[in-house]
Amino acid sequence: MIRSVVRGIGSALPRRIMTNADFEGIVDTSDEWIVQRTGIRQRHIAGDDETTASLGEAAARAALGNAGLTVDDIDLILVATSTPNNTFPATAVDIQNRLGMRHGFAFDMQAVCSGFVYAITTADLYIRGGLAKRVLVIGAETFSRILDWTDRSTCVLFGDGAGALVLEASEGEGTIADRGILASSLRSDGAHKDKLYVDGGPGTSGKVGHLRMEGREVFKHAVGMITDVIEAAYAGAGVTSDDIDWFVPHQANKRIIDASAKKLGIAEEKVVTTVHLHGNTSAASVPLALSVAVADGRIKKGDLVLLEAMGGGFTWGAVILRW
Ligand code: ACO
132 lines ligand 1 (CB under 6 A): no
Query: Is 114 in contact with 282 (CB distance < 8 Å)?
Result: no
Strands (E), 55-177: 76-80, 105-109, 134-142, 160-171
pLDDT score of 193: 98
Q: Give residue 298's pLDDT.
A: 98
**Cβ(215) – ligand 1 distance below 6 Å:** yes
CATH number for 143: 3.40.47.10
CA of 241 to the centre of ligand 1 (A): 30
ipTM of the complex: 0.93
Residue in 18, 219, 223, 315 to alter for ligand 1 test, most ligand atoms within 8 A of Cβ: 219
- Predicted local confidence at residue 273, as pLDDT: 98
Instruction: Point out the residues that are catalytic.
Output: 113, 250, 280
Task: Give residue 30's pLDDT.
Answer: 97
Looking at the fold, whether 278 and 188 belong to one and the same domain comes out as yes
Ligand 1 touching residue 181 (CB < 6 A): no
Q: For the chain (length 323 residues), average pLDDT per consecutive 10?
A: 98 98 96 98 98 99 98 98 98 98 98 98 98 98 98 98 98 94 98 98 95 96 97 98 98 98 98 98 98 98 98 98 98
Instruction: Calculate the dihedral angle through the C-alpha atoms of 254, 256, 258, 261, rounding to the nearest 10 degrees.
Output: -140
Domain tally for the chain? 2
Query: Is 38's C-beta closer than 6 angstroms to any atom of ligand 1?
Result: yes
Q: Are residues 8 and 143 in the same domain?
A: yes
> Cα–Cα distance between 256 and 147 in angstroms, integer?
22
Residue 44 structural domain: 2-171
Interval between CA 231 and ligand 1 midpoint (Å) = 28
Looking at the structure, do residues 204 and 295 belong to the same domain, yes or no? yes
Question: In terms of domains, do 165 and 16 share one?
Answer: yes
The answer to pTM > 0.90 is yes
Chain-centre distance for alpha carbon 98: 22
Co-location of 246 and 269 in the same domain: yes
